[in-house]
């Protein structure tokens, strides 16, 4: 795969596979094990927004630079009172917005875990649709040890994935788990040697790209509807509306309004 830059950022790389519908977002702060600061998250939000709008992109890979870490969570060096402090001195927890954005992106996001996925970095892979891990990857939460917690997706979605007993163990004890252990608890989809990690993730992306984008979109929305209450249902409902707008039946309603006449829905079937 030849990766071509899409846009320049400070803390991340945003690239696409030449001639393919695959984008890749790489957290590029290896000196701090790819911990995120507010700027890192803002840049990821911008890149994911671009990936959503670009109709030629069908799958997004999320990874970290180097072979040590996927992401080690919030940058503890800029953690101040009330959150992670940006250049203007404003405390932020904008990673929670990023988590929601990944969940509601109507295209699959694959976490490509190339090392430690720890703390808020672990939650990032949890909110991705699929996870491919290198054999040396390590997974875990640290919140209760470092004075933090993620009681949103970080706890509840993890509980849906590995079960409540295991999720509570992960959060209450703050242990670290190998890629093999993560595979056994259903936390990751596949474990491969580091040298084959990207190739494997690209292969998974290609297999997804061969499938119906609308079917994939609805399936992602269905999983969110199951876990995310009304917000998940809203996504599914929005997708249904998108399909409905494409029908002659919906167009008849709009055209009748614009033509100032009574709509005639009589020719549209009422399926059993």
Residue among 35 and 61 whose Cβ is closer to ligand 2NE = 35
The annotation status of 229 as a binding-site residue, yes or no, is no
E strands along the chain, which residues? 3-7, 12-17, 22-27, 59-64, 69-71, 79-80, 83-85, 91-92, 109-113, 116-118, 130-134, 138-140, 177-178, 190-192
Residue among 171 and 204 whose Cβ is closer to ligand 2NE = 171
Rounded least distance, CB 69 to ligand 2NE, Å: 6
The annotation status of 145 as a binding-site residue, yes or no, is no
Other Cβ atoms within 10 Å of 124 Cβ, number? 29
**Rounded to whole angstroms, how far apart are CA atoms 217 and 133?**
24
The annotation status of 156 as a binding-site residue, yes or no, is no
Q: Which residues bind ligand 2NE (CB under 6 A)?
A: 32-33, 35, 68-69, 72-77, 93, 95, 116, 118-120, 142-143, 146, 148-150
Rounded least distance, CB 146 to ligand 2NE, Å: 4
Residue among 138 and 221 whose Cβ is closer to ligand 2NE = 138
In sequence order, the 6+-apart residues with CB closer than 8 A to the CB of 99 are: 123, 124, 127, 152, 153
Residue among 124 and 225 whose Cβ is closer to ligand 2NE = 124
Rounded least distance, CB 120 to ligand 2NE, Å: 3
β 69-71/116-118 pair status: parallel
Do 128 and 79 form a contact (C-beta atoms < 8 A)? no
Rounded least distance, CB 48 to ligand 2NE, Å: 17
Binding site as annotated, residues for substrate: 33, 72-76, 84, 116-120, 142, 148, 245, 260
């Amino acid at each position: 795969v030849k990766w071509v830059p899409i846009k320049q950022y400070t803390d991340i790389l945003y690239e696409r596979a030449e001639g393919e519908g695959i984008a890749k977002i790489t957290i590029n702060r290896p000196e701090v094990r790819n911990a995120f600061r507010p700027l890192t998250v803002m840049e990821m939000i911008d890149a994911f927004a671009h990936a959503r709008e670009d109709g030629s992109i069908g799958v997004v890979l999320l990874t970290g630079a180097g072979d040590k870490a996927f992401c080690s969570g919030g940058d503890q060096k800029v953690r101040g009172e009330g959150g992670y402090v940006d250049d203007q001195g404003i405390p932020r927890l904008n990673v929670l917005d990023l988590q929601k954005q990944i969940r509601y992106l109507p295209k699959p996001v694959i976490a490509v875990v190339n090392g430690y996925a720890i703390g808020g970095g672990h939650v990032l892979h949890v909110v991705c649709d699929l996870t491919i891990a290198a054999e040396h990857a390590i997974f875990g939460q640290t919140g209760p040890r470092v004075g933090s917690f993620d009681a949103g997706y970080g706890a509840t979605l993890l509980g849906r994935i590995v079960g409540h007993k295991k999720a509570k163990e992960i959060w209450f004890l703050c242990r670290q788990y190998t890629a093999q252990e993560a595979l056994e608890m259903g936390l990751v989809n596949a474990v491969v040697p580091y040298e084959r990690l990207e190739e494997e993730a690209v292969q998974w992306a290609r297999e997804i790209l061969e499938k119906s984008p609308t079917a994939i979109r609805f399936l992602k929305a269905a999983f969110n509807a199951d876990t995310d209450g009304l917000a998940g249902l809203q996504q599914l409902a929005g997708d249904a509306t998108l399909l409905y707008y494409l029908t002659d039946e919906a167009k008849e309603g709009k055209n009748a309004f614009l033509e100032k006449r009574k709509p005639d829905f009589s020719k549209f079937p009422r399926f059993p």
